[in-house]
Structure 1
Amino acid sequence: MEQQPPADRGAPGASGGGEAVPTCYRHPDRETGIRCTRCERPICTECMVSASVGFQCPECVREGSGTGHHPAASRPRTLAGGSIAADPRLITKILIGVNLVVFLVVAAAGTKLLDDLTLVGRAWAPSPTGGSVEGVAEGQWYRLVTSMFLHQEVLHIAFNMLGLWWLGGPLEAALGRVRYLALYLLSGLAGSALTYLIAAPNQGSLGASGAVFGLLGATAVLMRRMNYDLRPVLVLLALNLLFTFTWGGIAWEAHVGGLVAGIVIAIGMVHAPRERRTAVQAGTCALVLAATVV
């Protein structure tokens, strides 16, 4: 395919830090600023259960303290209302696995498969029979999705998967599996859509960092919701945006599109009123998807 070399979508990093805060009484290695409204023990995002006011720990929920033994109140929920899972990183592990498998398959298959799956708006693809025009503008909409799981270099996928692991685990625990997966996919799709809209038609683009930037934006929203120190994540975001706009060969459109989508979706998920939480969360995701499609 005659086009410019595919632009990596960068590789956002991640780091922790902040002021000293209490640790979860069930997970001593996890810092938290949330306490059970009944027993006042510190609890992390995996352990917190939504109550009529604030959050409760699993023990208080099981004992029915202050809940009147209502069946719905006995089901543990995440901060965003999702079900608490035994493995809070399952979807993150699956996403990393999918990216790694695709990377190995493409490496084994060669550049032809890479060209067929990379995001490109419209470009000439030569062939022994004369060639053809290919790209999203030619009806190959699947490229908007497949490009989210493509990586060309080991360093590229390594940084993106590290970012996915560091950012994805806490978000998956706080949002629940379904909401977290929606955040990841919609952020990545929004990044692809903005790249298609703004980048040169024959400019190839690939990488998972549009989705990872969405997770970074959502992390900032979640930390603000939990009254954590925002300075570490804001510094991390600023550094990644600096690299985005100063390093060559990076599809900045995917980063910005994913970041904006991640922030909007996270606001809808963690700030939705309890009585209309599911409707607001679904509506926010539908709004982002509609904007992406348009």
Structure 2
Amino acid sequence: MSDATAQESGTVQPPGQQSAVRYVQLTVPRHRPVWTYVLLTINVLVFALMTVLGGSENPAVLVLFGAKYQPLIAQGQYWRLLTANFIHIGLLHLAMNLYALYVFGLQVERRFGRARFILLYLLSGIAGTALSYVGSRALSAGASAAIFGLIGAITAYYVIHRRMFGTVGYRQLRGLLIVMGINLVMGLTSPQIDNLGHLGGLLAGSALGWAYCPRYAVARGMEGLPELQERKQGARPAATTVGMVAVLVALSLLGTWLHTGAAH
């Protein structure tokens, strides 16, 4: 948008309209969130079932429900790279991730739309678990990797649209960078935090967020007034998705080689 600027709660001065209409308030297109609430519900139900069957902090229960456990993944149970993202170890772990998912999930789903959101969430979660599989032998689980992917995606959104949102966007961007920094530092100082999982989710979410991020253009609406509309993005989202899947497959195979072939 080189010929007009907008803010989420502000105004835009469309080109060629200065004499007729000095300022027109434009609204950034939003989507109705659905998947965020579905994911919140799934996480709660899984935690409740784990509690009934022996407790969410019981290693045997964690393995049974699909936590990241190197020996079994190396034997071919790659589905654990996905299921680990729906398992939580203790009520505090669940509560913290549910809150973060609610906050960042709604932001990303409203901006990116339902299809792009769920792809971004799942692929980021798998990426985080896959990187953890490569570099850590610890039993681990949690939605943190996927949530870091959401943080990376919404950060990419505000970087791309930093001029459009002006000072509001810069404040959002600064806050997101602070959140990322604090959480990554906490991961470095605590052996109980899977920092590789966080990093993998963040990197995947940032890359996918950059590709999936809606681009806007000022167009004429039904009543002849200017409005923001999403532009078509061509092959970039699909190509990035295919590339991400290839990276995830490579990480999974590398992890298996490190934990089996390299040992011999």
**Structure 1: gaps (5+ residues):** 1-21, 24-30, 47-83, 123-134
1:231 match: 174
> Structure 2 stretches of 5 or more lacking a match?
1-5, 18-22, 163-168, 217-229, 251-264
2:201 is the counterpart of 1:266: no
Q: Equivalents in 2 of 1:172, 1:257: separation in Å?
A: 20
Tell me which amino acid in the other structure corresponds to 1:215.
L
Shift of 1:113: 3.2
Provide Cα deviations, 1:197-248, integer angstroms capped at 9, x if missing partner: 1112xx2010000000000111111112221112111111111111111123
Residues 1:249 and 2:192 are matched in the alignment: yes
Superposed CA deviations along residues 235-282 of structure 1, whole A, max 9, x for unmatched, are 111111111111231111110000000000011112779876142111
Tell me the equivalent position of 1:292.
248
Q: How does 1:197-236 map to 2 (within 5 A)?
A: 197-200=134-137, 203-227=138-162, 228-229=169-170, 230-236=173-179
Partner Cα separation in structure 2 for residue 160 and residue 34 of structure 1: 35
CA contact (8 A) 1:261 1:288 kept: yes
Tell me which residue corresponds to 2:223. none
Cα-to-partner distance string for 1:111-168 (whole Å, 9 max, x where unaligned): 433222110111xxxxxxxxxxxx1001111211111100021110111111111111
1:103 paired to 2:47: yes
2:193 partner amino acid: I
Distance apart, 1:89 and its partner CA: 2.1
Shift of 1:32: 3.7
- CA separation in 1, counterparts of 2:121 and 2:143? 10
Judging by fraction of residues, say which structure has more strand.
1
Matched, 1:152 2:89: yes
Higher mean alpha-carbon deviation, 94-103 vs 277-286, is at: 277-286
CA distance in 1, matches of 2:155, 2:99: 18
Contact 1:36 1:42 in 2 (8 A): no
Indicate yes or no: 2:107 matched with 1:170: yes
TM-score w.r.t. length of structure 1: 0.67
| Match of residue 183, structure 2, among 240, 244, 247 | 240
* 1:69-99: CA deviation from partner (whole Å, max 9, x where unpaired): xxxxxxxxxxxxxxx4xxx221100011111
- Cα RMSD of the aligned pairs, angstroms, is 2.3
Distance 1:286 1:34 in 2: 38
- Partner of 1:42 in structure 2? 26
Q: Secondary structure at the match of 2:233?
A: helix
Q: 1:115 to 1:276 in 2, by over 3 A?
A: same
Rounded to whole Å, the distance in 1 between the matches of 2:180 and 2:158 is 13
Indicate which of 61, 70, 77 corresponds to 1:121: 70
Q: TM-score of the superposition, structure 2-length normalised?
A: 0.74
Cα distance in 1 between the residues matched to 2:13 and 2:158: 18
Amino acid at match of 1:40: V
Secondary structure, aligned partner of 2:238: helix
Identical-residue share of aligned pairs (%): 31
Aligned-residue offset at 1:194:
0.4
Q: Distance in 1 between matches of 2:96 and 2:69?
A: 23
Relative distance call for 1:191 and 1:278 in structure 2 (3 A) is same
Candidates 268, 279, 283, aligned match of 2:235 = 279
CA offsets 1:1-56 (integer angstroms, 9 cap, x no match)? xxxxxxxxxxxxxxxxxxxxx98xxxxxxx5467485872131441xxxxxxxxxx
